[in-house]
Chains A and B, each alone.
Chain A
Amino acid sequence: MKLINKSIILMLLIAFSGCEDALEEEVYSQLGTENYLATENGIETVLYQAYSNMQRHGHDFSIQLHEDIVVTGRGDGQLGAWEGSTIAPFRLWTWTSSFWPFSNHWNGCYNMIYNSNVVLDNVEGKSFSDDFVNRMRGEALTLRAYAYMRLYEYFGPTPIHLSSNPDDLLIPRSTEDETKGRIETDFLEAIDLLPIDQELFGSLTKGSSMGMLARFYLNDKQWQNAAEITKSVIDLNKYSLYPDYTTLFHIANEGNSEVLWVQPSKSIDGLANTLIGLTYPGDFPFEGTQSTFPARIRIPTWFVDSYEIGDSRADSTVLLKSYVNRQGNTINAYGTGGAYPIKYGLDPNANGGNGGNDLPEMRYADILLMRAEALNELNGPNQESIDRINEVRNRAGVADLALEDFSSKDDLRETIFQERQWEFHFEDLTRIDMIRQGTFIADAISRGLQADEHHLRYPIPQDEIDANPNVKQNDGY
């Protein structure tokens, strides 16, 4: 009996001791921070994450394109939940700080910044090759600068995080100069670091970084810098216009010589975009696995009519005006509700409305027109500006402009902006172009909207305002 008693007490003692190490949490399916970031592979996958924040898909993609075309009145939505709740505030100019596309844009950009910062914080001081370090730094800096630029386009100056260290989370908004200085510095450093060619298409190159910096200079009206950097891109002799505008965006021609950088997509779960589902008519006679969503985007008749006769950018394979539907009836879309913007074409492997078309982020035609615009702003009408515009017009199959047609800088500026609207329609450039041109608000008022200067910037997302007392809302919101 005593033996049993003793052994029971012994068992109790054993049970009460020695188990506490067991409470250490053992992680199986996730990776520890320190070890992981000590490897090239670890750093690279974090960079992929930053790219993935930049490469929008699904609804994130749709809203990016819709926002631009709807807020500028160059397109409108029809049918579907998308039209009802999501893009109506952009059409009616009734957005508020809790409208989800703003936090979507904000979060996407700041995730890109955070992951770029993780790369920048961890890539140096290890035994990685210089090539690797330069390439990683160049790509991360470009992505960070791009993110701050996109934030600036929406919201103006925002908090600047230059480290992934979580200690200081309540950073206030930076000043205009700080923001612009940061964007320029990061792009310039990246241009030095990046190679002209990358192994994988879609990775950032010297040219893409230069092109994005050109866009920044242009929007900031730093005309001299814009003129120089666009010249540098042209002098790389790497890029040229793709000969046919109507097939430029087709999936078969992805990665052609005109593209400096793209937002790629692929027709697989989670990586597809919604172009097919949102741009084709519901009863379009698809031959493959394509189909459409309830929502639709349509281009108003007046815009279609604004193109010159014979302009391939208004061809029915770019802006679908009439078609024979599944039932065999001819449908005149153009007269009833507007044309369908189908310039991206069909993905033969589409999964319903989801396809894998790339969206160009920067293409050579933009470099040419930016150079033309910058030179005009610097010198007034000049032959190089006219020549650059004509390169773009020739490809579209419309007649050359002549220098003598332009009496003033304003005159040519107007023509350039018109050309940009035609050339870059449905490419997420219209709003910033109109803001630069100074017509964004006036155009909205002419469409009967109640618009004023405060609409030039969107409101800072309410989540940020609520969680960060140091961030002040934009005026008027």
Chain B
Amino acid sequence: MTNNYQTKIRRWFTLLSFLCLADLAWAQSTVTGIVTDENGEGLPGATVVVKGTSNGTTTNIEGNYQLTAERDAILIFSFVGYATRDVPVNNRSIINLQLEIDLKSLDEVVVIGYGTVKKSDLTGAVTSVKPDDLNRGSIVSLDQALQGRVAGVRISQASAEPGGGVNIRIRGAGSISAGNQPLYVIDGLPLNGENMMSGGGSADIPGNGVPKNPLNTINPNDIASIEILKDASATAIYGSRGANGVVLITTKTGSSGKLNVNLDSYVGVQTIYKNPDMLSTSEYISAMNDLAEDRGEGVVFSDADISEIGDGTNWFDLVTRDAITTSHNISFNGGNESSRYFVSANYMNQDGVIVNTGTERYSFRVNLKHDFSNKLTFDMNLTTSLVNDLNSVEGSGNTENGPYSLAAIYDPTMDAYNEDGTTAESDVFTFPSPIATLQKESTTSTNRTLGSASLNYEIIPGLNAKAKFGVDRRNGREDLFSPGIATSSGSNVAIGRIATLERNSYLLQYTMDYSKSFSDVVDFNILGGTTYEKFTNRSFSAGISNFPTDILGTDNLGLGNIENAFMGSNKNENIILSYLGRTNLTLYDKILITASVRVDGSSRFGANNKFATFPSAAVAYKLSQEPFIPEVLNELKVRASWGKTGNQEIGNYASLSTFGTGGQAIFSDSPYQGTTATRLPNPDLKWETTTQFDVGIDFGLWDDRIYGSIDYFQKNTDDMLMNFPLPTSSSFQSVIRNIGSMKNTGMEIMLTTRNIVEPNFEWSTGLQLATIRNEVTAIGGLDDILVGNLFTTSFAVIRPGEELNAYYTLEQTGIFQTQEEVDNSAQPSSAPGNPIYRDVNEDGQINDEDRVVVGSPWPDFTYGMSNEISYKNTSLSIFIDGQQGANLLNANITYSLHPPTARQNRIKEQIVDRWTPDNPDAKWPSAINPSSYGPYKIDSKQIEDASFLRLQSVRLSQTIPVSSKWVEKVTVYATGQNLLILTKYSGLNPEANRNQNSNAWAERNAYPLARTYIIGVNIEF
């Protein structure tokens, strides 16, 4: 509500108050005074009533009032949005009073599935986040804005690339193979969360395990609130898609009255937080010479070579940059009594710190509401956006790939360019120069249109019917091109590919709800409905190689050699048909009972199991309504809930056996396409079921000076969809079956304290803390399943009794000092300077049997702390988040310890502190013959502590007083993001994960983290 609008209301109330004054002729004793607002300014229109009578008045335009009252009477002061106060007269004739804002009344309504509820009437574990509580700065997607803010919601930036993929786990990992991301519902429309094209995996551009975030298509500036549904009572209404939690996003709506315009613009710069600490040119030269000497070989660099090399090349400097980020957002809202609108437009650009990477978004939104009558209303939300990505080409596989990972390992003694200006080629490496791979092109562009329209009709008072239609249409195109100079095979053959993908879905939904109060005792509400959703995906791709020139890139694929062309297309669809119902019952405004059920049918599941039922129930008791609860507790509510939710996120057709495209056979020098059975059928395939139990308490003390909630939950996932390994002699690796069970238990605390509440000085602190314990309880009778493969080694295990995907490999206990030690060990063919592994079963050899659990990717607890301080027109917000007790495989160490090419650069510490007879206490092995270290490349020493504490953002803003007819308010701000990360983790990003869909976490070729500094201005008209 704007100042202008408030003033209007105040004036109106003032007028009323003068009318009322006429009645007050026979005064007994006169009381006067001034009622002021939180800033000490007069509050016009406030109501002052003598308690127990109809005698009252309202304040005038200055906030003054006058009335007559008995000398021992009590006056009641009230105003909309402010806490009501009772004040005894006590023989006084002047009573001045400052009213305080009633926080509870401001955020009273919370969005839940298929409806809303008063916050005080919530029975489930739902966290509501307003835009002011979201992360600030250069934010591409709304989940980045939530990072660290909500207890029990672990949001990790799996790739630090602009717009890079995000891992979200609400109340822990809920599934092994059926997806872990929550369901996003925007303005009542469930989003299709599947990724678009990853920008790699073909045309010599490596596959990207962390595709761009599908939420990048949504403008975070449009958000009015985000509700995170965590317990089953809240999520069961979303049935077979509720098991990983549900995130409800509500976008802004217009309000009646004058047109309001808001403009927000910022510009910023991002700099690399840190590069890997590799050997410098001179360190590299001595390392190569020392290693050659230790191997009994001649020196690599003679003195003459060294003087010729000089400073060599710092490859990082050539492939990275300080990157600009900018955003401009404008929104309009307004309307009249029957129609309201909100319109916004946004342009956002974030360049990447690696050259040739970045993302940009254009988005546009119209939200309309129209009342045809007071019974029939219509609303519509429509947004369309275009996201253009320049993707990183680093890849996440076993070998060196993109410019940044090549810069780390490339020979620092060579020159980057030849004398004629062309890119120099290495004599010792066959992979291309980092600056050559900068010319690899990977672009994706995605157009997404989200629209929904609904009609509401009030049939009789309390009975409403609502029909909703929604669409989510995404069209994407991917262009991949590798010029000859950049191909990893060194073939000098350019290769290009274009792919398109459409992901379309539509929703038909019909709901009815009925509310009724029976006296003061019972309030009840019942909701019923049905929904039908259909998802269709279509793709096409074509590629070709042997271009006569690189100049045209993918703009003329026809130039390539048609003999080397390939193409493909695919179409698939799935359907969800659902029936849902919910009832809320309130007794004596104290006891709240909720029950819900959803019946989901999914085309994805086997013929014998098409439908599933997901029930839930919850009860809450508002203890603060009871007289025996001390006054200091202004709110106290205990809650308990139970329910079942499901997970249906497996691919389409997983229950059917079909013949699909197989390999090609060659006859007479021509390829012949083979077909093969894609999988074994499983007609019993069904959804995963999660049964969740939650108890919680919501509390507020001293008029919400301190408020918060505590929840304890237990989530048991059964019938977990898993690829059950088959004997490969059957020709199939595995079949998807409902065989696994997993348990997540945890505690969540959210606490806000308002430390200082003064007219011109406020300070509040928000704190969230969550601890989750994950345990795999069954995997279909198997002992364990090895997962996560890097460098031909599995590094994690799924094993009953352990946390999901616990790190599992050999435990390194030290370094061999002498040949004698080697001879007496379980590794007789090893050598002094090589790592010692623990012979767990003491059978005198080191092999598969000696692998043990050496760490867990799951933190013991995660936390976030915000501080908001405002003094007059200046405000400062500081946000810290972190995790404690998680491990992460730093595969950069592995790669440097086991370099495929002897001449590649290494992590400095591994050479500086390598074992030699003169350095017996070295941290790292001798580096002389890494292939003799042992059977695996990955051992416990590469599983690092990934605990971190991060100064996520600091924002300082200043509101500038303006006296203009057009401008109402100007705020300038400066924000710093990722300013400081305290961690023992030695890699680039303690949250990195090379494969977004995998819970087997590992950093490999991670995109470097950036520090961001932005300045911006926000103007309200």
Which residues on A are within 8 Å of B, measured CB to CB?
1, 4-5, 8, 11-12, 15-16, 19-20, 22-33, 36-37, 42, 45-53, 55, 79-86, 88, 92, 94, 96-98, 100, 103, 106-107, 110-111, 113-115, 118, 158-159, 161, 164, 166, 169-171, 200-203, 254, 264-266, 268-271, 277, 282-283, 289-294, 350-354, 356, 450, 461-464, 466-468, 471
Inter-chain contact B490/A352, CB cutoff 8 Å: yes
Inter-chain contact B658/A33, CB cutoff 8 Å: yes
Alpha-carbon distance A171/B677, docked complex (angstroms): 20
Alpha-carbon distance A48/B672, docked complex (angstroms): 7
Contact of B664 among A83, A270, A277, A466 (CB under 8 A): A270
Chain A residues positioned under 8 Å from B490 (CB to CB): 291-292, 352-353
Interface assignment of B427: CB less than 8 Å from any CB of chain A: yes
Chain B residues positioned under 8 Å from A356 (CB to CB): 669
Known pairs A23-B575, A161-B729; list 11 more (Cβ under 8 Å): A8-B459, A20-B610, A27-B656, A49-B665, A51-B674, A111-B676, A158-B729, A351-B491, A353-B489, A466-B783, A467-B725
Alpha-carbon distance A253/B532, docked complex (angstroms): 63
Which residues on B are within 8 Å of A, measured CB to CB?
398-399, 427, 429-431, 457, 459, 465, 467, 487, 489-493, 508, 510, 512, 530, 532, 545, 563-564, 566, 569-575, 577, 579, 601-604, 610, 652-653, 655-660, 662-678, 680, 725-733, 782-783, 791-792, 829, 847-848, 898-902, 930-931, 935, 937
Inter-chain contact B730/A110, CB cutoff 8 Å: yes
Chain B residues positioned under 8 Å from A468 (CB to CB): 727, 729
Inter-chain contact B674/A48, CB cutoff 8 Å: yes
Contact of B668 among A31, A37, A94, A200 (CB under 8 A): A200
Contact of B728 among A27, A42, A461 (CB under 8 A): A461
A-B contact pairs, 18 of them (CB 8 A): A15-B530, A16-B530, A19-B532, A25-B655, A26-B573, A30-B659, A33-B659, A51-B667, A85-B792, A110-B729, A200-B667, A271-B671, A289-B493, A291-B491, A294-B429, A353-B490, A450-B829, A463-B733
Inter-chain contact B729/A353, CB cutoff 8 Å: no
Residue of B with least CB distance to A277: B489
Contact of A32 among B493, B658, B666, B898 (CB under 8 A): B658
Inter-chain contact A268/B671, CB cutoff 8 Å: yes
Residue of B with least CB distance to A270: B664
Residue of A with least CB distance to B902: A79
Chain A residues positioned under 8 Å from B848 (CB to CB): 96-98, 462
Inter-chain contact B399/A352, CB cutoff 8 Å: no
Inter-chain contact B674/A52, CB cutoff 8 Å: yes
Inter-chain contact B727/A350, CB cutoff 8 Å: no
Nearest first, the 9 A-B pairs at minimum CB distance are A352-B491, A352-B489, A114-B731, A49-B674, A52-B663, A81-B900, A468-B727, A51-B665, A291-B490
Number of A-B contacts (CB under 8 A): 269
Given contacts A19-B577, A30-B678, A268-B564, contact A92 B662 (CB under 8 A): no
A120 to nearest B CB, angstroms? Answer: 14
Inter-chain contact A31/B731, CB cutoff 8 Å: no
Inter-chain contact B673/A48, CB cutoff 8 Å: yes
Chain B residues positioned under 8 Å from A291 (CB to CB): 430, 489-492
Alpha-carbon distance A199/B346, docked complex (angstroms): 64
A103 to nearest B CB, angstroms? Answer: 7
Residue of A with least CB distance to B849: A96
Contact of A45 among B579, B674, B725 (CB under 8 A): B674
Chain A residues positioned under 8 Å from B899 (CB to CB): 84
Alpha-carbon distance A81/B793, docked complex (angstroms): 13
Chain A residues positioned under 8 Å from B829 (CB to CB): 92, 94, 450
Residue of B with least CB distance to A114: B731
Query: In the complex, which of the residues A24, A26, A50 has the most CB atoms of chain B within 10 Å of its own CB atom?
Result: A26
Inter-chain contact B603/A22, CB cutoff 8 Å: yes
B180 to nearest A CB, angstroms? Answer: 24
Inter-chain contact B577/A81, CB cutoff 8 Å: no
Inter-chain contact B898/A266, CB cutoff 8 Å: no
Chain B residues positioned under 8 Å from A49 (CB to CB): 662-663, 665, 674-676
Residue of B with least CB distance to A468: B727
Chain B residues positioned under 8 Å from A115 (CB to CB): 674, 676, 731
Chain B residues positioned under 8 Å from A461 (CB to CB): 728
Alpha-carbon distance A171/B656, docked complex (angstroms): 24
Chain A residues positioned under 8 Å from B652 (CB to CB): 25
Chain B residues positioned under 8 Å from A351 (CB to CB): 489, 491, 493, 545, 564
Alpha-carbon distance A170/B603, docked complex (angstroms): 31
Inter-chain contact A80/B901, CB cutoff 8 Å: yes
Inter-chain contact B727/A467, CB cutoff 8 Å: yes
Alpha-carbon distance A113/B730, docked complex (angstroms): 9
Residue of A with least CB distance to B569: A29
Inter-chain contact B510/A354, CB cutoff 8 Å: no
Alpha-carbon distance A111/B731, docked complex (angstroms): 5
Inter-chain contact A103/B530, CB cutoff 8 Å: no
Given contacts A20-B577, A31-B659, contact A352 B493 (CB under 8 A): yes
Inter-chain contact B664/A30, CB cutoff 8 Å: no
B703 to nearest A CB, angstroms? Answer: 45
Inter-chain contact B676/A29, CB cutoff 8 Å: no
Inter-chain contact B510/A15, CB cutoff 8 Å: yes
Contact of A107 among B430, B508, B728, B901 (CB under 8 A): B728
Chain B residues positioned under 8 Å from A32 (CB to CB): 658-659
Inter-chain contact A23/B602, CB cutoff 8 Å: yes
Inter-chain contact B653/A294, CB cutoff 8 Å: no
Residue of B with least CB distance to A326: B427
Alpha-carbon distance A28/B574, docked complex (angstroms): 11
Chain B residues positioned under 8 Å from A269 (CB to CB): 545, 564, 566
Inter-chain contact A94/B935, CB cutoff 8 Å: yes
Contact of B603 among A5, A23, A47, A290 (CB under 8 A): A23
Contact of B726 among A28, A169, A350, A354 (CB under 8 A): A169
